[in-house]
Amino acid sequence: MPMSSYLKAITALGGGSLHPGGFTGTLGILRNFTIAPDEIILDLGCGTGRTACHLAKTYGAHVFALDNSEAMLSKAKSRALQEGVEVHYVLGDILDLPFKDNIADLVIVESVLIFLPVRPALQECFRVLKKKGYLVCVEMFASGSLPANEREKLKALCGLKQIPTYQEWLNYFQTTGFTFIKTWQKKLPGPLEVLKELLNPDPCWFRPGEQVYLDPASLSVLFKYKRLMMRNKRHLGYGTFILIKE
């Protein structure tokens, strides 16, 4: 599947927690779990590996981090070396996971499903989870008030398959066979959330003396994305979904 110009731009940017809610949100989600060192965790669409490294470092679990971008995985492997943790990195596709059935205790997917055919991706998540295994997803949603032309601009720029409503996300999970444990929805991050994220700085991003070069095309895409998101912020939000395979 070809990478959209937006995904190419954020790959070049290399941030550790660009999903809605950021790393602060991830830490909040993980407080809902007691994770044992012998558990197997899959971080699907791992990006630069910040969540995966945190899981390995904090819980000592067996963490497998998958992404379909070699460039992202290169950054993720570099992060693991810098943080001194062991993460098993895998180049692969969420629609065809290279894992056996019923293997994972926890699957984490942060702002990835929105780029994919949702049901096939969720079916793969369901397949690899053990019975009583958990799925955590964080995904953007749009209200019905989002103007159709703005929806299409956002989809085209980011390469999105769809921008579901919150209820449509719930329907996707339910029809795939998952049982809801806890779900909630929030508005896109405002100044307070941005401040909270600053309190959890990424130690492997913009280190002293290091520069991140973004080509003019990537900068243009990111500026267009920011304008679109700011213009439509009142129509957008993100949902957090904690589910179980019973």
Q: Which of these, 60, 52, 59, lies nearest to 26 by C-alpha position? A: 52
For the chain, state the CA radius of gyration: 17
pLDDT tens per residue across span 173-196: 999 999 999 999 999 876 567 667
- The tokens describing 187, both together, are 């508005």
d(CA 212, CA 71): 14
Q: Per this entry, what is the length of the chain? A: 246
pLDDT tens per residue across span 126-162: 999 999 999 999 999 999 999 999 999 999 999 998 9
DSSP β-ladder status, 88-91 and 179-187: unpaired
Enter the DSSP assignment of 189: P
pLDDT tens per residue across span 57-112: 999 999 999 999 999 999 999 999 999 999 999 999 999 999 999 999 999 999 99
d(CA 157, CA 77): 28
Give the residue, 14 or 130, on which the prediction is more confident. 130
Predicted local confidence at residue 189, as pLDDT: 76
Answer whether 65's CB lies under 8 Å from 41's CB.
no
- The tokens describing 232, both together, are 């439509």
Q: What is the pTM of this model?
A: 0.91
- The tokens describing 191, both together, are 């100044």
Answer whether 30's CB lies under 8 Å from 59's CB.
no
Query: Which phi and psi angles does 104 have, rounded to 5°?
Result: -100, 140
